[in-house]
Structure 1
Amino acid sequence: MSVSLHFSEIADVYRFFNLEQTLKHPLVAVIDFGNADEQVAENTRISGDYYCLMFKRYDGNNVRYGRKVIDFNNGSLMCIAPNQVLELKYDLGDCTEKEGWGVFFHPDLIRNTSLQHKIKDYSFFSYETSEALHMSEKEKQIFYDCVQKLDGELQENIDIHTQDIIVSNIELLLNYCTRFYARQFITRKSVNSSVVGQVENILAQYFATGKLAERGLPTVKSLADKVNLSPGYLSDLLKKETGKNAQDHIHYYLIDEAKNILLSTDKSVSEIAYGLGFEYPQYFNKLFKQKTGKTPVEFRNGN
């Protein structure tokens, strides 16, 4: 039987981990998992109204996040956005060794701050578990030092500077995530190159089979599903490897197909647009000019 838990307040996090300490701040928490004692039944699904950076090392690996099992044996960093689901497939109380830390912060903490406008740029919050950040010992220490500074600030009395300092520390953590994920993309270059090849083959076959009129353009999600990655991770991987994100790759094959049709048939631009899966020809015109610098008619007449 599955049990679902949803935490709406940071105080719920303390209660979940059976920590008796007084809540230091209503919108942010730093948890030492070595001191935590979460007792959760099997098949428990957990979600919350907050962001979470979580580094854990457990002597078990039956934790699911999204569609994948998490390997916590060696430790990895997960970045979880509000309302994403963490599924526990076993009783964490059975683990004999647990260590790590978690930083939990509510969106209200960063409201009306510069981080509120930047938070969506941290695309790793949409990654799957299998795309978690695997860190070197040096990187783990850098994160730990940042977490300790954040926790130290939470020990201070709240004053007019508290929010700015806390938010700055959280933003520093997120910026390190960006840096270390960039490193991970580089160190996994051989694997990433294979993914790029798969994506190109999938798109080439899709456009060659004439499925556009029936099914429309492939989506980033459908493309990501075929290579077993999340849409956000796939786009970032492609951007690092080729300079173009997933949507750019789809549009590249679309425009290439459009050029072939424009030069090899007498079909009107509207007919071509409908044949390529566009509901409105004007959108096709706009995209074609954006990608080529010419309208479809200008391209046809110039070639």
Structure 2
Amino acid sequence: MKIYKDFASYNLGIGLSKPLDNDIDVGYYDPPKIIVDCEAVVVDFYRISIKIKYKRKSTPDIEPVSAVFFNTPDLVIEPGWDAEPTYTGMYLQLSKKIIEENRFLFKTYLDYGQHEALYLTDDEVEEVSAIFRLMMKYYENEKRNFSVLISYVNVLVSLVEAFYKRQFSTDPKQYNHIITDFQQSLIDYYNQPVKQLPNVQYFADKLGLTANYLGDIVKHFTQKSALENIHDFVIKRAKELLIENQKMNTTEIAYELGFEYPNYFSKFFKKQVNLTPKEFRLQSMNRN
């Protein structure tokens, strides 16, 4: 497996133009010049790749698509591109340094490459293409203004956010199993003895997803973050234990739920319910 540490070696290796900078690279694809690699590769930087009218050789009967693809430093790119050399498109390559210095701009989409591409409508292709033309204008200028370039990258990411929301809403059935599996995993977690509170990363690993991707899907379809969903379930379970297990004291319930410190459980419960666990139990007993 080849590992490309920088833009220059990667571009040379697959037949792209020589980059003008070590931290940001913008360019257009010239498919006939692309060198199809025979082994898997990893790039040690971030890539946003837009391919227009992209058609796979392995599925010749399927209509061409236009889509945004993402590559991150930990993502293995399979051998060959399996693409007919008839597509057009553009790419944006960003160093780890640029990502870290501008992390607030990039949100969560860069690790979506492990799960799904963003499929574009013709109108969306036009919008993305217009942004790339402006990016190229400032990238190719000898006095490159990186603040302007980064601003256009921010616009591109904002478009990606809007387009992903459209994609999530277009075919919700495609994502239903993720929500169902997440909710079932929460139930399964508390059907066994626990030693700590669950977190989003735990369920993402369980489902074979990245935490960002799981969080975005859950937020889109439940209007609450994955962490808020976890907290809601913990509170629901806490209420059940307080009402149905009168012999258990607050400390025992805290440990049962995975809290390391009982005081933290009491504060957490009070923040969510506006009552302490003891007050909630007493109120419930009085109602009955």
Alpha-carbon distance change, 297 to 128 in structure 1, aligned in 2, over 3 angstroms: farther
Match of 1:232 among 186, 203, 212: 212
Secondary structure at 1:119 match in 2: helix
Distance 1:232 1:94, change over 3 A: closer
Aligned to 1:65: none
Deviations 1:243-281, CA, capped at 9 Å, x for gaps: 112222222111111111112323221111111122222
Matching of residues 109-148 of structure 1 within 5 Å: 109=98, 116-119=102-105, 122-148=107-133
For 2:83 and 2:170, the matched residues in 1 are separated by 35
Distance (whole Å) between structure 1 residues aligned to residue 210 and residue 97 of structure 2: 27
Paired residue type of 2:233: Y
Residues 214 and 206 (structure 1), Cα distance of their counterparts in 2 relative to 1, 3 Å cut = closer
Which residues of structure 1 form unaligned runs of 5+?
63-70
CA contact (8 A) 2:70 2:113 kept: no
Percent sequence identity over matched residues?
Answer: 23
The number of residue pairs the alignment matches comes to 278
Aligned residue in 1 for 2:3? 5
Equivalent in the alignment of 2:92: 103
Is the CA contact 1:52–1:105 (under 8 Å) kept in the aligned structure 2? yes
C-alpha change, 1:176 and 1:20, in structure 2 (3 Å) is closer
2:33 counterpart of 1:53:
no
Match of 1:266 among 247, 252, 265: 247
Give, in angstroms, the shift of residue 198 of structure 1: 4.0
| Aligned residues: CA RMSD | 2.9
Distance 1:194 1:39 in 2: 35
**TM-score scaled by structure 1?**
0.79
Q: 1 CA distance for matches of 2:184 and 2:64?
A: 35
- Among 228, 252, 275, which residue is 2:256 paired with? 275
The residue that corresponds to 1:184 in the other structure is 167
What TM-score does the superposition give when structure 2 sets the normalisation length?
A: 0.83
The answer on whether the counterparts of 1:38 and 1:92 sit within 8 Å (CA) in structure 2 is no
Task: Please list every run of 5 or more consecutive structure 2 residues that lacks an aligned counterpart in the other structure.
Answer: none
**Structure 2 counterpart of 1:203, from 171, 178, 186:** 186
The answer (yes or no) to whether the contact 2:70–2:110 under 8 Å persists in 1 is: yes
Query: How far apart in 1 are the matches of 2:160 and 2:258?
Result: 38
Equivalent position SS for 1:40: coil
SS in 1 for 2:2: strand
Residue in structure 2 matched with residue 256 of structure 1 by the alignment: 236
Q: 1:157 to 1:201 in 2, by over 3 A?
A: same
Q: Provide the residue aligned with 1:38 in structure 2.
A: 35
Q: Is the 8 A contact 2:41 2:78 kept in 1?
A: yes
Matched, 1:86 2:86: no
The one of 119, 137, 140 aligned to 1:152: 137
